[in-house]
């Protein structure tokens, strides 16, 4: 089983969108049984809440399901249990590393999986309001991430 955890700040906008998009791509590739996919936030403000309306709207528009996704906060045990931890921005990585010794958690950056990415961080639509931009970035980078994992895991 390959385990993938997407991480952002609030776990209501970016990381649940990445979780739903990545699960959709994994399903389309016929690999659902080989993956466990989840998301979490570094903050605790929205624990138990469904994705933000902007994330729900764009996923509905694209026909991507997000049933059952509820915000939770990242825990130290996640760092041991997940093979791939994928953060949306540099601040997320710093926050994850304050949970444990900086070198013990290997955290990947979402946009490193997007060829010719126009930026380094996935901008936070909670503040920008631009959920379409985030969807486009996440859709491309999820494609790259799946390719990367399939090569690594021989899938």
Active-site position among 13, 121, 124, 142 = 124
8 catalytic per annotation: yes
Q: Which stretch binds ligand 4NP (CB under 6 A): 2-10, 25-33, 102-110, 135-143?
A: 2-10
Q: What DSSP string runs through 74-129?
A: --HHHHHH-SEEEESSHHHHHHHHHHS-TTTS-EEEGGGGSTT-S-SS---HHHH-
Binds ligand 4NP (CB under 6 A): choice among 4, 10, 87, 131: 10
Binds ligand 4NP (CB under 6 A): choice among 27, 32, 45, 76: 45
14 catalytic per annotation: yes
Binds ligand 4NP (CB under 6 A): choice among 126, 133, 140, 155: 126
Q: Are strands 84-87 and 2-8 parallel, antiparallel or unpaired?
A: parallel
Check residue 139 for interaction with ligand 4NP (CB under 6 A).
Answer: no
Report the SS3 class of residue 155: coil
Q: By the 8 A CB rule, do 155 and 38 touch?
A: no
Q: What DSSP string runs through 22-48?
A: HHHHHHHTT-GGGEEEEEEESS-TTTT
Q: Which stretch binds ligand 4NP (CB under 6 A): 9-17, 23-31, 75-83, 146-154?
A: 9-17
Q: How far is the CB of 147 from ligand 4NP (least distance, A)?
A: 24
Q: How far is the CB of 44 from ligand 4NP (least distance, A)?
A: 10
Check residue 54 for interaction with ligand 4NP (CB under 6 A).
Answer: no
Q: By the 8 A CB rule, do 22 and 135 touch?
A: no
Report the SS3 class of residue 8: strand
Q: Which residues bind ligand 4NP (CB under 6 A)?
A: 8-14, 41, 45, 124, 126
């Amino acid at each position: 089983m390959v385990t993938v955890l997407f991480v952002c700040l609030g776990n209501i906008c970016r990381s649940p969108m990445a979780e739903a998009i990545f699960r959709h791509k994994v399903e389309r590739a016929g690999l659902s049984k080989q993956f466990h996919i989840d998301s979490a936030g570094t903050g605790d403000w929205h624990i138990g809440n469904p994705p933000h309306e902007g994330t729900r709207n764009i996923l509905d528009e694209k026909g991507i399901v997000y049933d059952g996704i509820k915000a939770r906060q990242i825990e130290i045990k996640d760092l041991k249990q997940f093979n791939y931890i994928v953060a949306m921005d540099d601040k997320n990585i710093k926050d994850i590393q304050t949970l444990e010794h900086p070198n013990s958690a290997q955290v990947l950056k979402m946009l490193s999986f997007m060829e010719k990415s126009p930026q380094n961080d996935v901008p936070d639509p909670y503040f920008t309001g631009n959920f379409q931009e985030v969807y486009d970035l996440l859709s491309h980078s999820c494609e790259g991430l799946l390719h990367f994992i399939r090569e690594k895991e021989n899938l």
